[in-house]
Amino acid sequence: MSEFLFSLRGVPEDEAEQVRALLTEHKIDFYETDAGNWGISMPALWVRDKASYQQARLLLDHYQQQRFIEQRALYNQQKQHGRQRTLWQVFWERPVTFVLSVGFIGLIIYLSIRLLQDFGL
């Protein structure tokens, strides 16, 4: 029976490729499911047999630990050199989208609070 190994939802493509390469390099038999036509299914990597699962889990845990260290170092380096994007830069890249998103978030918060007040909570 297959075992769930790694969710691909929200994972950068380079990370997904590296995980696939890692599993292939260690000759671990796996397959991939996608999000489907409507994007509601679970995109993931699955190991085909339970015997390989523990090895795959150990490899993946080690890989993720190393990736975290590398990405944190890259972030800190970009931050020191002033190349890390700020909220202000995001606003200036797409001001209309930014304002609409903040407005929508505000509307959701307002409606949630209003609903609680109407119920007397």
Give pLDDT tens digits for 26-72.
999 999 999 999 989 999 999 999 889 999 999 999 999 999 999 99
Phi-psi map region of 10: left, alpha, beta (phi>0 left; psi -120 to 50 alpha): left
pLDDT averaged over every residue in the chain: 93
Domain borders along the chain are 1-84, 85-121
Share of the chain above pLDDT 90, in %: 77
Residue recorded with tokens 């190994």 = 5
What percent of the chain lies above the pLDDT cut of 70?
A: 99
Q: What is the pLDDT of residue 76?
A: 93
This prediction's pTM: 0.71
- In CATH, the number for domain 1-84 is 3.30.70.1530
DSSP labels, the chain: --EEEEE-TT--HHHHHHHHHHHHHTT--EEEE---SSS-S--EEEESSHHHHHHHHHHHHHHHHHHHHHHHHHHHHHHHTT-S--HHHHHHHSHHHHHHHHHHHHHHHHHHHHHHHHTT-
Question: For residues 36 and 42, what is the distance between their CA atoms, to the nearest angstrom?
Answer: 8
CB 43 within 8 A of CB 7: yes
